[in-house]
Amino acid sequence: MKMAASTIVSRKIIKPFTPTPPSLVHHNLSLVDYINTPEYCPIVFFYSKPENCDINQISHILENSLSKVLSFYYLFAGLIKDDNSYVDCNDMGVEYLHVRISCPMSEILNHPYNDVVDVVFPHDLPWSSSLNRSPLVVQLSHFDCGGIAVSACLSHKVVDGYSLSRFLNDWADIARQVDFKPSPQFNASSFIPLMDDAPAIPNGVPEPQRHVSRMYNFSSSSLRKLKDIVATDSGVVQNPTRVEVATALLLRCGVVASMEKSGAFKPILWSHVMNMRPPIPLDTIGNAISCFGSVAMTEDDIKLPNLFARLREAKQQLRGELKDKNTDQLAAHVLKERKEGADIKMDMFGAYYSCTSICNLGFCTIDFGWGRPVRVTLARNSRKNNFLFLDDPSGDGINVIVTLTEDDMLMFQNNKELLEFASPVVQ
């Protein structure tokens, strides 16, 4: 598809409504913040044409409410310093773009590949480096049909998925004039402090690879069926979660696609992100995440019940390791995890699959005053072999953004086992 033309209507800098107190100007990054790549995580919310509200009113509401919420999330209006150790919370402000896109919104939503949503993000910004610039960039896009999209690129140096959801929900509540006061706590460094022997950090973000993204939906009925099969076949593991069973199936289908292309099985490595709240308090904003994962060394390992059992075992092991840890122990855990990851010999594996779930975080209920989004998604991932899990806006299902190489995607999207339980959001 030829990318729809976009025209910038206005470009502004939105500053916090109230100045940041001098005592909060210097914000130390946590160890997890420090070792994260400095890329912008790009998320977008598509909304049907708002009633009784024109685009200028909408932009005015978003600008004013953004200024107010930045008084509480002052960190996002600062500057990430290039030594990666702190943020200068100098009220520099957030870049806000209002853009007109010359096509109906349906042209984006009905395209089979998720890649086309990149048009609703600032040009060349998704997954690029956020060093020496504001941690947050926002864009309001409006389409010929009257539909709108609100997108945000927020630096992974200062937020994880949980923190991103807290910020966006608080911003939406302020836009709707809900009577409350946000209470974010930028205290991640007090729980996972930056240590003297911190590992080497990435100087930038990886070069984008040639790959494509598609979104698949697991309906609630398909997930129940998949849970029953996995629970029965695994024998010992009970009450599988929807993300667990969907992850196991997608990993299997990804490996099968790779096998069909190469003609042989090769061992794989995979990981999944876990929120560390608790033991870290729920109001902590920043990066409070850890990873669990495992390997599949034989074809028997990629059978659905075996993948699921490995997934559950790895997750429970990490939960046990994190339980009741004090501040020093949490930091030591993160450092150990990082070093172990760096020591893995990747040439032993045919592929590495990364999985992230932002389910149950309230993204699909974000309402700025004109209803819930008809779709929530992200820009095309900068890395191949990636599965991102989101809540299905219409119910209890799951949407998954699958990012693979073009060749693997051709095999993957025709996998009969996949299509028994998941459907492409757009055919």
Give pLDDT tens digits for 2-51.
568 899 999 999 999 999 999 999 999 999 999 888 899 999 999 999 99
Residue 61 in tokens: 């509401």
Q: Which SS3 state, helix, strand or coil, does residue 158 take?
A: coil
Residues 258 and 394 occupy one common structural domain: yes
Evaluate whether 91 touches 74 at the Cβ level (below 8 Å).
yes
pLDDT beyond 90 at 427 = no
For the chain, percent of residues with pLDDT exceeding 70: 96
Residues 237 and 125 occupy one common structural domain: no
Residues 273 and 375 occupy one common structural domain: yes
The whole-number pLDDT of residue 208 equals 63
Domain annotation covers residue 204: no
Domain annotation covers residue 314: yes
Give pLDDT tens digits for 384-419.
999 999 999 888 899 999 999 999 999 999 999 999
Domain annotation covers residue 76: yes
Instruction: Quote the CA–CA distance of 302 and 32 in Å, as a whole number.
Output: 31
For the chain, percent of residues with pLDDT exceeding 90: 78
DSSP 8-state symbol, 159: -
Q: How many helices (H) and strands (E) does the chain have?
A: 11, 16
Evaluate whether 24 touches 285 at the Cβ level (below 8 Å).
no
Give pLDDT tens digits for 106-121.
999 999 999 999 999 9
The whole-number pLDDT of residue 348 equals 85
Instruction: Quote the CA–CA distance of 21 and 252 in Å, as a whole number.
Output: 52
The whole-number pLDDT of residue 324 equals 84
Q: How many domains does the chain have?
A: 2
Residues 303 and 419 occupy one common structural domain: yes
pLDDT beyond 60 at 333 = yes
- The domain that holds 130 is classified in CATH as 3.30.559.10
Give pLDDT tens digits for 162-172.
999 999 999 99
Residue 339's H or E segment, with its range, is: helix 327-343
* Confidence band for 205, pLDDT divided at 50, 70 and 90: low
Give the ranges where 127-273 is alpha helix by DSSP (H). Answer: 161-175, 188-191, 220-234, 242-262
The whole-number pLDDT of residue 343 equals 78
Evaluate whether 373 touches 393 at the Cβ level (below 8 Å).
yes
Residue 69's closest CA among 162, 156, 180?
180
Domain annotation covers residue 206: no
Domain annotation covers residue 315: yes
Residues 186 and 232 occupy one common structural domain: no
CA angle 111, 249, 400 (to 5 degrees): 30
Residues 317 and 399 occupy one common structural domain: yes
Give pLDDT tens digits for 244-291.
999 999 999 999 999 998 999 999 999 999 999 999 999 999 999 999
Residues 180 and 239 occupy one common structural domain: no
The whole-number pLDDT of residue 296 equals 96
Residues 162 and 236 occupy one common structural domain: no
Residues 392 and 353 occupy one common structural domain: yes
Provide mean pLDDT across the span 163-190: 96
Single-letter amino acid, residue 181: K
Question: What integer best gives the mean pLDDT of the chain?
Answer: 92
Query: Can you say whether the dihedral through the CA atoms of 152, 157, 161, 166 is positive or negative?
Result: negative
Domain annotation covers residue 283: yes
The whole-number pLDDT of residue 148 equals 98
Measured CA to CA in angstroms, residue 141 lies from 42, 104, 213, 257, 274 at distances of 14, 11, 21, 36, 32
Residues 235 and 381 occupy one common structural domain: yes
Residues 268 and 314 occupy one common structural domain: yes
Residues 13 and 73 occupy one common structural domain: yes
* Confidence band for 209, pLDDT divided at 50, 70 and 90: low
Provide the residue range defining the domain that includes 49: 6-191
Residue 10's H or E segment, with its range, is: strand 6-14
Owner of token pair 């060394």 = 297
Q: What are phi and psi of 258, to 5 degrees?
A: -65, -40
The whole-number pLDDT of residue 207 equals 63
Q: One of 156, 211, 272, 333 is an active-site residue; which one?
A: 156
The least confident of 63-72, 346-355, 367-376 is 346-355
pTM above 0.85, yes or no: yes
Domain annotation covers residue 196: no
- Helix axis angle for 242-262 and 220-234, nearest 10°, is 80
Instruction: Quote the CA–CA distance of 199 and 204 in Å, as a whole number.
Output: 15
Owner of token pair 């048009």 = 119
Domain annotation covers residue 149: yes
Q: One of 91, 233, 367, 407 is an active-site residue; which one?
A: 367
Q: What residues contact residue 384 under an 8 Å CB cut-off, 6+ apart?
A: 209, 211, 403, 404, 405, 408
343 is catalytic: no
The whole-number pLDDT of residue 341 equals 81
Provide mean pLDDT across the span 225-243: 85
26 is catalytic: no
Which of 191, 223, 247 is the C-terminal boundary of a domain?
191
Which of 191, 223, 241 is the C-terminal boundary of a domain?
191
Provide mean pLDDT across the span 286-314: 94
The whole-number pLDDT of residue 175 equals 98
Which of 126, 161, 191 is the C-terminal boundary of a domain?
191
The whole-number pLDDT of residue 203 equals 54
